[in-house]
Amino acid sequence: MLEQLNQIEQDALQAIRAAQDETTIEQWRVAYLGRSAPLMQIFDKLGALPKEERPAVGRRANEVKRALEGAFSERADSLRQASLVHSLTAERLDVTLPGRSFPIGRLHPLTQTLREMYHIFAEMGFQVFRSREVETDEYNFQLLNMPEDHPARDMWDTFYTLTPGVLLRTHTSPGQIHVMYAYAPEPIRVILPGVVYRYEQVSARKDTQFTQVEGIAVGRSITFGDLKGTLIDFARRMFGQDVRTRFRPSYFPFTEPSAEMDIECFLCGRKGCGVCKGSGWLEILGSGMVHPVVLQNGGYDPEQFSGFAFGMGVERIAMLCYKIEDIRYFWANDLRFLEQF
């Protein structure tokens, strides 16, 4: 067996000198130092040898193993160095070329618009309050002064779930009740952003889901003048200090009196165009004084407290700010559109 060990060492050292690349040297390691290599098999057979032969064979086997491991380490390092030298000398590297730029993520245009709105209303003292998207009929309609069979419910095309009385909210106005429940009878001044859902015919101006920002302020002696001042200041901060605004009487079951607010069409300068439908004005939000019934449903005494509320579509605001003509772009995930922002 000692002669066999000598032969294994001689064959292995001769084979390793012929290895010329990292693949070959790895194959050599498996053949001569792997678990099934002849040398390893000799270690497995040591227990079957006579006692007087074991020390000499074991000692020689360990010597051969150390010799082969040293030869492998030396040859592998040599081949790696040779490969590196070849790479540096044979491959051209132009260090004057500009680096490759990595694509980076961007904030969605709706997120950018929302953050700007948060900043504006925060400076006015409004806090952000989140409310749920899956609502009950009670919060979405009844507590907002729209009992069952109320004709005003036809103003919203509703997605109902299979659970009776549960629906996808059609507006962010149910958040008014949630926030009043949370803070009554303390004064409040909050905005409620979120996605709403309506069963709409999809077009360039309408979609089945869109984003709204609701605002509500409740306190003592709040007037319609406070509402107008807040919304005019918002429009000037959002669209520019020179923007002109107007209020038109309207109807919402949860506010009385109610009004819609327009800004002048800055695309045509109030001359009339396709975007403003020839009117020279663009509607941006609905608003009004919180209805006494809604105040009472929220836990406030309408004899002591008053408040105003407003709601606006974030997509509409973004379309006006960035001159976007189709609301469907916001949800299409088209990188050609999104990368412009």
Q: What is the pLDDT of residues 157-215, one digit of tens each?
A: 899 999 999 999 999 999 999 999 999 999 999 999 999 999 888 887 788 999 999 99
pLDDT of residue 119: 97
Smallest CA-to-CA distance from 259 within 272, 242, 276, 246 is with 246
Q: Which top CATH class is 109-338?
A: alpha beta
| CA–CA separation, 181 and 52 (whole Å) | 94
Task: Quote the pTM value.
Answer: 0.69
- Mark out the alpha helices in the chain (DSSP H runs): 2-18, 22-33, 38-45, 54-90, 109-123, 137-140, 174-183, 224-239, 292-297, 314-322, 335-338
Q: What is the pLDDT of residues 214-242, one digit of tens each?
A: 999 999 999 999 999 999 999 999 999 98
pLDDT of residue 275: 65
* Residuewise pLDDT in 10s, the chain (341 residues): 677 777 878 888 888 888 888 888 888 888 878 888 887 887 777 777 777 777 887 788 788 888 888 888 888 888 888 888 877 777 777 778 888 888 888 899 999 999 999 999 999 999 999 999 999 999 999 999 998 888 888 888 899 999 999 999 999 999 999 999 999 999 999 999 999 999 888 887 788 999 999 999 999 999 999 999 999 999 999 999 989 999 999 999 999 999 999 998 876 766 777 667 778 888 899 999 999 999 999 999 999 999 999 999 999 899 888 888 888 999 998 988 988 88
Q: What is the DSSP string of 263-287?
A: EE-TTTTTS--TTTTTSSEEEEEEE
Q: Where are the domains of the chain?
A: 2-90, 109-338
Q: Are 65 and 50 in contact (CB under 8 A)?
A: no
pLDDT of residue 274: 67
Tell me how far apart the terminal alpha carbons of the chain are, to the nearest angstrom: 78
pLDDT of residue 8: 79
pLDDT of residue 304: 96
